[in-house]
Amino acid sequence: MKFAKRMDRFGEGVFSKLAEIKKRKLEAGEQVIDLSIGAPNIPPVERIRKILSEEAMKPENYIYAISDQKALLEAVSDWYQRRYGVTLDPETEVCSLLGSQEGLSHIAMTIVDDGDLVLVPDPCYPVFADGPVLAGAELYYMPQKKENGYLIQLKEIPEEIARRAKFMVVSYPNNPTAVMAPASFYEELVAFAKKYDMIVLHDNAYSELVFDGKSCGSFLQFPGAKEVGVEFNSLSKTYGLAGARIGFCVGNHEVVEKLKTLKSNMDYGMFLPIQKAAIEAITGDQSCVAETRAAYEHRRDVLCDGLNGIGWTMKKPEATMFVWAKIPEKFTNSEKFAMELVERTGVLVTPGSAFGPSGEGHVRMALVQDDEALHAAIQAIDESGILK
């Protein structure tokens, strides 16, 4: 059989190697504490699950949804107004996604042709790069370095690269580095995109997971943002709805319309009970959002305080559900460190190099385990002597 060259990109990566070790350890009855994948383990509150189950019992809800219900589009538009102070036309500026991952992977097909250039952060959430590559684009990596607070330095992007690029992907609060961007960054970003006639895709998956009493808004609240781009949002982490696959692409109407057209040729829309659950999530009592935020903040404190206490020094992240930590000094390679860590302790983390070349020297730990497992991870790391 002959397959497409584009599939070569998805060969045996570090994730499959880690999964293999995890499987082997579990089969041998050993402890494994998986902090590698950002799969949230906080379920949606009862009011959301109730709507989903009630709607799932209605026979009429099993037709193809085809498109977004008016009530869903309006709920999203109201949510953006209420939460971010951003006005959206529900008809033309909102599109639902089968998880924001789905939209992020497909949207490149509506913007680039073979050989076009796309700017992606480095390190970055993998689909930011995979989507454009699947669509035939070339990538230019915009480093997010520690010395710059892990922020993209727009001024350092060469003129000819900026002129060639068709779109750029930006995302703060950031996965994996867990930093936020100041307003001045977004103002500069809008001016940059206008100057070079470039579309901006901003991923705002973690806007509700901002800690220590701080908060953040939306890219679209900055003047001119809607002229240059769109924002992706997700109910996966905020409402614990990861498995239900609910996300949105909102903002510039031309970009949204093109994505809707592509999707109308690829899928038949979101299962109607899930549309209803999404409406319930964003229009109902929002105290669950604060509770989820507090849970992740607490886990952050447990993990960071614990690891700092045993001699693995790291800063507490200000947002997201990840800890981005430098690997201990005696190691020079993040993959080797992650492999040795899981072998010796059963603690699974993601090597920074999996997120791009600038991720080397770091690992990402996802706050997806409860206190007990986090304490067990800290103890196992301490007792293994790997930090000494």
Ligand X SMILES: Cc1ncc(COP(=O)(O)O)c(C=O)c1O
Interface positions with ligand X (CB under 6 A): 38, 99-101, 125, 171, 175, 203, 205, 234, 236, 242, 247
From the list 199, 203, 189, the residue with the least C-alpha distance to 232 is 203
Residues in a beta bridge with 199: 167
User: Residue written as tokens 């992650």?
Assistant: 338
Neighbours of 375 (CB within 10 A): 15
Closer residue to ligand X (CB): 306 or 356: 356
DSSP state of 372: H
Min. distance of Cβ 382 from ligand X in angstroms?
Answer: 29
CA distance 297 to 259: 35
Closer residue to ligand X (CB): 110 or 236: 236
Min. distance of Cβ 304 from ligand X in angstroms?
Answer: 19
Min. distance of Cβ 176 from ligand X in angstroms?
Answer: 8
Min. distance of Cβ 385 from ligand X in angstroms?
Answer: 32
Dihedral sign, Cα of residue 263, residue 45, residue 294, residue 214: positive
CA distance 166 to 307: 42
Phi, psi of 276 (to 5 degrees): -65, -40
From the list 124, 125, 176, the residue with the least C-alpha distance to 324 is 176
Residues in a beta bridge with 324: 364
Closer residue to ligand X (CB): 296 or 312: 296
Min. distance of Cβ 232 from ligand X in angstroms?
Answer: 7
Determine the 3-state secondary structure of 166 from DSSP. Answer: strand
Closer residue to ligand X (CB): 65 or 104: 104
User: Residue written as tokens 């959301």?
Assistant: 48
C-alpha gyration radius of the chain? 21
- Which H/E stretch holds residue 374? helix 371-384
Min. distance of Cβ 125 from ligand X in angstroms?
Answer: 4
Cβ atoms 124, 355 nearer than 8 A: yes
Cβ atoms 45, 287 nearer than 8 A: no
Closer residue to ligand X (CB): 36 or 236: 236
Q: Which residue type occupies 10?
A: F
Min. distance of Cβ 1 from ligand X in angstroms?
Answer: 30
Closer residue to ligand X (CB): 278 or 381: 278
Cβ atoms 200, 219 nearer than 8 A: yes
Closer residue to ligand X (CB): 38 or 352: 38
Closer residue to ligand X (CB): 199 or 242: 242
Min. distance of Cβ 5 from ligand X in angstroms?
Answer: 26
